[in-house]
Structure 1
Amino acid sequence: MSADSTGNETEGAKAHEEPRRDFNPPFTIAAPDIQTVPFALNSPHSGRIYPPAFLSASRLDALSIRRSEDSFVDEIFSGAPRLGAPMLKANFPRAYLDTNREPYELDPAMFHDALPPHANTRSVRVAGGLGTIARVVADSTEIYRAPLSYAEADHRIRTLYMPYHQALSDLLETTFRRFGCAVLLDCHSMPSHAGPFEDDMGTSRADIVLGDRYGVSAAPALTDTAERILTDLGYSVVRNTPYAGGFNTEHYGRPAQGLHALQIEINRALYMDEARVTRAAGLNRLTRDMGEFVARLALMDRAFLAPTSPPSALSAE
């Protein structure tokens, strides 16, 4: 792709098999000309290309199937490359494949044939219908009309999930080599009110939830600084409730090794019409503020991010 004001964009997803041509490309990396900060941003759930065959296999209409989508989060953080940080974003939707899960978190009830032994069929996320291949959208409405084949799931995982995580691992490893530390900001959005199976059902949520796996995935100074900046910008912030971080935060966050992962959940009421899945007036202000957030966070003392033990490989497998 040609360079624009946000930096250079590179296309991704090389694999032993080609992904379906509906996703062209399946993901995008918006990169600065020169990376100047030890951050890499990730927007795994903002993809909004829904293949016709997928929609035909679904019992949901074209609007309802978007209930799990972190709509416009890639736009909200689109200023990161101008600030010197690369950003990876999925173009395929979360309802089709969720890269914030283990590679094979699969619900056997979704398939008409047997799953392999390496599939994790008993995780809490699978039980809730939100595995690597989701059974439901966010409000627990079933997606598919009929069971899938395991071959279909395996194809999505090998041609989309694996290349996506390879790209994310490469970004973090490159960042670490350049700066001696690396910070993953995993960017998400959340419904303004909790769903039927959540503890805070019916209550309004804070503006932003920061997830660091209860202090395990990031240095305390990073989370403290992020909370202080966001509060100074006028947002109400809580930590780890109800979202402490998913697979990405858990897998890539190794603060003792200088690898930090912080999940950011933004209340959708701040910037969109949740029922219509359309942009609202608050989107422009939020986008400006998140650019300011990343810029100010990048000024923190990097001594707090330095490793205290040798780093290990970042493979998602």
Structure 2
Amino acid sequence: MTVFDLERPIRGETPVLVEIPHAGLEIPETYRSEIVVSPKSIRSDADIYVDELYRGATYRGATVLAARYSRYVVDLNRAQDDLDAETVRDHPSAKPHQPRGVVWRITIDGDRCMPQPLSRARFETRLDACYRPYHGAIASELVRLRERFGHAILVAAHSMPSVGRIGHADSGVRRADVVPGTRGRTTAHPSIIDLVDSHFRAAGLSVRHDQPYRGGFSTRHYGRPKESWHAIQIELNRALYVDETTHERKEADLERLRQLLLGLVEKLGTLRL
């Protein structure tokens, strides 16, 4: 099975790389005995249809990297040593309590999704098969784009529940339509952050920066404005485009949001820094 899909524009390339780490739903056979979870949980904890929302971005000049595996296999928006002893046995970097690190053992709703901790060898197998190739691809693309354009812009594409769930720090709190995460405006040039803000506000959407998501591993790790790598995480409220109970798409709303995102990708690609 393919771990991720990498699509480059045929022509009109821009410095924009869209990475989609959490839309995948696949759990390969080799990991199924180590993951015990319902199909509903897989969909509930995925950034469902975010890959569909950015479909067509390559025609607007962006490169798109989309993971195919569920985040229950490996969470690509975490550091590779982000785990605890109940997740991986005898790991030297284990934290005191991290049930949803680079490998999840508990779902957002609090259900166990691992029957037992992984051995160090099985954990490393997942990293070698899934995590390291994905982040190797991000780094390679950012290097390539910076060499061509003088800078690169990483859009970390995500979605979020409309209301914080039981496993979230903001449980029960209604969220904005769009949450750009730049860790206090430190991971991207101000003009990028301001463009994203104004683009969504002009469409009538509510925007709240860094709350409740400041930008995860990819934004923090690749957001290096002094090195001409810029990163911004964009969290979209799922209620904008999907029924959060049935996971059915709101087709007309999804298409409107897709066109809005494609417009943003195009604007980012022509931005002068």
Q: TM-score, normalised by structure 2?
A: 0.94
SS of the aligned residue for 1:237 comes to coil
SS of the aligned residue for 1:265 comes to strand
Post-superposition offset of 1:252: 0.3
What is residue 56 of structure 2 aligned with on the other side?
79
Please show how residues 46-61 of structure 1 align to structure 2 within 5 Å: 46-52=23-29, 54-61=31-38
Given the superposition, is the C-alpha separation of residues 214 and 132 from structure 1 closer, same or farther in structure 2, using an over 3 Å criterion? Answer: same
Cα displacement string for residues 97-144 of structure 1 (whole angstroms, at most 9, x for unaligned residues): 011111221221124x411x3x3x22xxx8341111111222232111
Is 1:36 aligned with 2:6?
Answer: no
Any conservation in 1 of the 2:182–2:214 contact (CA below 8 Å)?
yes
Is 1:287 aligned with 2:258?
Answer: yes
What is residue 87 of structure 2 aligned with on the other side?
110
Is 1:131 aligned with 2:107?
Answer: no
Cα displacement string for residues 20-40 of structure 1 (whole angstroms, at most 9, x for unaligned residues): xxxx21111111113521111
Please show how residues 184-263 of structure 1 align to structure 2 within 5 Å: 184-263=154-233
Structure 1 CA distance for aligned equivalents of residues 67 and 32 of structure 2: 18
Which among 56, 63, 85 is matched to residue 40 of structure 2? 63
Post-superposition offset of 1:63: 1.5
Gap regions ≥5 residues in structure 1: 1-23, 304-317
What is residue 153 of structure 1 aligned with on the other side?
123
Counterpart AA for 1:80: A
For structure 1, which segment, 176-185 or 31-40, has the greater mean C-alpha deviation from structure 2 after superposition?
Answer: 31-40
How many residues are treated as equivalent by the alignment? 272
Any conservation in 2 of the 1:211–1:240 contact (CA below 8 Å)?
yes
Given the superposition, is the C-alpha separation of residues 53 and 174 from structure 1 closer, same or farther in structure 2, using an over 3 Å criterion? Answer: closer
Quote the sequence identity (%): 35
Structure 2 CA distance for aligned equivalents of residues 66 and 56 of structure 1: 19
Structure 1 CA distance for aligned equivalents of residues 270 and 217 of structure 2: 27
Structure 2 CA distance for aligned equivalents of residues 234 and 298 of structure 1: 23
Post-superposition offset of 1:197: 4.7
Which among 271, 275, 278 is matched to residue 248 of structure 2? 278
Cα displacement string for residues 26-84 of structure 1 (whole angstroms, at most 9, x for unaligned residues): 11111111352111110011111123454444442221233221111011011210011
Any conservation in 1 of the 2:27–2:70 contact (CA below 8 Å)?
yes
Counterpart AA for 1:60: V
What is residue 92 of structure 1 aligned with on the other side?
69
Cα displacement string for residues 183-225 of structure 1 (whole angstroms, at most 9, x for unaligned residues): 0000000011012354533122111000001111111111011
Any conservation in 2 of the 1:189–1:267 contact (CA below 8 Å)?
yes
Counterpart AA for 1:114: D
Please tell me the root mean square deviation across aligned C-alpha atoms, in Å.
Answer: 1.7
Counterpart AA for 1:166: G
What is residue 310 of structure 1 aligned with on the other side?
none
Counterpart AA for 1:284: E
Cα displacement string for residues 229-284 of structure 1 (whole angstroms, at most 9, x for unaligned residues): 11112211110010000010000001112110000000011111222223223211
Q: TM-score, normalised by structure 1?
A: 0.81
Any conservation in 2 of the 1:207–1:235 contact (CA below 8 Å)?
yes
SS of the aligned residue for 1:214 comes to coil
Structure 2 CA distance for aligned equivalents of residues 205 and 140 of structure 1: 21
Gap regions ≥5 residues in structure 2: none
Counterpart AA for 1:48: L
Given the superposition, is the C-alpha separation of residues 152 and 230 from structure 1 closer, same or farther in structure 2, using an over 3 Å criterion? Answer: same
Post-superposition offset of 1:298: 2.6
Given the superposition, is the C-alpha separation of residues 278 and 51 from structure 1 closer, same or farther in structure 2, using an over 3 Å criterion? Answer: farther
